[in-house]
């Protein structure tokens, strides 16, 4: 039976949303004996790709887009090329060698990487147009891709991502929320960049400390991750006098991330879109993880996160542009802990069925059958 060869511009331990997606989809294909191989690129200074599945990872010389395309073409036509099958490229640039060589391929689309300008835009359009199918991580990404490149809707599919770790679903919301009366733990996990809007979250937390404080109850905000805006965030914490309650955790291990999800109550993620809407949250994997752990998710409406749950039933949507609105919504619900717990429980139920990596493999199975005809 023909198999699927996954091509990824980068692969773990290189960190990033698309890199993680590439590994998780490779694992899902591998479990179903559909994975033929993994091909990726890495520069000399980058760590070698790691994969503990049943297939080897071929690592090509990385660097500029041109260098990656040339090394990819050599791989396509070289003696070590994989047997004929379907190629899944986890970004359109990773599909360029398949496009040039006339191979059958599918492309996944995530967020801002779908946009290009000038001659590169024309190349991206041709790559997307010749793909057998395009798998988008959200309906928002699909709609933007179709509008940007005038693609036929029938070849564009939506498959939500799975979870970072299925153990999150083992969280018992009743036990987790038992500590709520003594301490409310807010948290966020992300790469610290302007679009994640962490200063908004810090300001909202500061206002909540004043408006939702109750004698004997502590409010804590735990912020995980690293990135370019972290120094400005720390300065804001100092300015607002929050050293006793806001903690920047920095980079956190996978095990500690699970523990954080299982301990904390309210996931505060008021992300926004930037660059005239082109820099947007394609899916929001960490939002799905927080739902799986039975947290109350409070997130921005923009991007793919806006379709992950029903507002007021499985989480809360807020405007990332209006701190007062965020505070008002939280104050309203903090006055009704039973309702908070109910929303968190419904979020976990939604996550249990909606966020599965096999969502992607089901679409790929159909593409593989079509390619064999």
Per residue in 48-75, pLDDT tens? 888 988 898 999 999 999 999 999 999 9
Give me the domain span that covers residue 60.
Answer: 4-162+356-370
306 and 235 housed in the same domain: yes
218 and 340 housed in the same domain: yes
206 and 332 housed in the same domain: yes
Higher pLDDT, 208 or 370: 208
pLDDT at 137 > cutoff 90: yes
**What average pLDDT does the structure give for the chain?**
93
**Number of domains within the chain:** 2
How far is 65 from 92, CA to CA, in rounded Å? 11
Sign of CA dihedral 329, 332, 335, 341: negative
Distances from the Cα of 258 to the Cα of 95, 247, 252, angstroms: 34, 17, 10
259 and 323 housed in the same domain: yes
Residue 65 exposure: Cα atoms within 13 Å on the Cβ side? 9
105 and 172 housed in the same domain: no
pLDDT band for position 372 (cuts 50, 70, 90):
low
224 and 201 housed in the same domain: yes
Q: What is the pTM of this model?
A: 0.93
Per residue in 352-371, pLDDT tens? 999 999 999 999 888 877 75
pLDDT band for position 16 (cuts 50, 70, 90):
confident
Angle at 89 between CA 85 and CA 95, to 5 degrees: 95
98 and 36 housed in the same domain: yes
Residue range 327-343: average pLDDT? 92
What percent of the chain stands above pLDDT 70? Answer: 97
Residue range 292-305: average pLDDT? 96
The secondary structure of 6-44 as a DSSP string is EEES--TTS-SHHHHHHHHHHHHHHHTT-EEEEEEEE-T
How far is 230 from 222, CA to CA, in rounded Å? 13
307 and 197 housed in the same domain: yes
CATH code of the domain covering residue 336:
3.40.50.2000
The pLDDT score that the predictor gives to residue 56 is 86
Sign of CA dihedral 330, 331, 334, 339: negative
323 and 259 housed in the same domain: yes
The pLDDT score that the predictor gives to residue 214 is 74
Residue range 244-269: average pLDDT? 96
195 and 337 housed in the same domain: yes
What's CA 83's distance to the chain center, in Å? 31
298 and 236 housed in the same domain: yes
The pLDDT score that the predictor gives to residue 21 is 95
Beta strands 35-42 and 4-8: pairing type? parallel
């Amino acid at each position: 039976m023909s198999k699927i060869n996954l091509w990824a511009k980068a692969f773990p331990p290189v960190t990033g949303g698309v890199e993680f997606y590439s590994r998780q989809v490779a694992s899902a294909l591998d479990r179903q004996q559909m994975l033929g191989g993994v091909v990726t690129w890495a520069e000399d200074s980058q760590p070698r790709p790691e994969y503990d599945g049943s297939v080897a990872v071929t690592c090509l010389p990385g660097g500029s887009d041109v260098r990656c395309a040339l090394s990819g073409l050599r791989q396509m036509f070289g003696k070590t090329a994989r047997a004929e099958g379907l190629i899944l490229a986890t970004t359109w640039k990773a599909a360029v060698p398949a496009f040039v060589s006339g191979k059958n391929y599918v492309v996944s689309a995530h967020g801002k990487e779908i946009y290009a300008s000038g001659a590169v835009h024309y190349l991206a359009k041709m790559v997307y147009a010749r793909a057998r199918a395009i798998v988008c991580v959200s309906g928002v990404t699909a709609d933007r891709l179709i509008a940007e490149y005038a693609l036929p809707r029938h070849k564009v599919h939506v498959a939500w991502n799975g979870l970072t770790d299925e153990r999150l679903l083992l969280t018992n919301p009743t036990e987790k929320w038992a500590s709520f009366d003594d301490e409310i733990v807010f948290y966020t996990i992300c790469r610290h960049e302007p679009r994640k809007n962490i200063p908004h979250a810090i300001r909202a937390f500061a206002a909540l400390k004043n408006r939702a404080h109750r004698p004997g109850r502590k409010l804590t905000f735990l912020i995980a991750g690293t990135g370019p805006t972290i120094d400005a965030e720390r300065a804001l914490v100092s300015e607002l006098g929050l050293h006793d309650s806001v903690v920047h955790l920095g980079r956190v291990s996978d095990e500690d991330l699970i523990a954080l999800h299982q301990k904390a109550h309210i996931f505060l993620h008021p992300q926004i879109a930037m660059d005239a809407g082109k820099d947007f949250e394609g899916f929001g994997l960490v939002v799905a993880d927080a739902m799986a752990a039975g947290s109350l998710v409070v997130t921005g409406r923009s991007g793919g996160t806006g379709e992950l749950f029903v507002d007021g039933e499985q989480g809360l949507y807020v405007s990332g542009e209006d701190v007062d609105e965020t505070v008002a919504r939280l104050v309203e619900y903090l006055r009704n802990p039973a309702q908070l717990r109910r929303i968190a429980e419904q979020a976990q139920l939604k996550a249990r069925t909606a966020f599965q990596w096999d969502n992607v493999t089901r679409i790929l199975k159909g593409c593989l059958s079509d390619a064999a005809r």
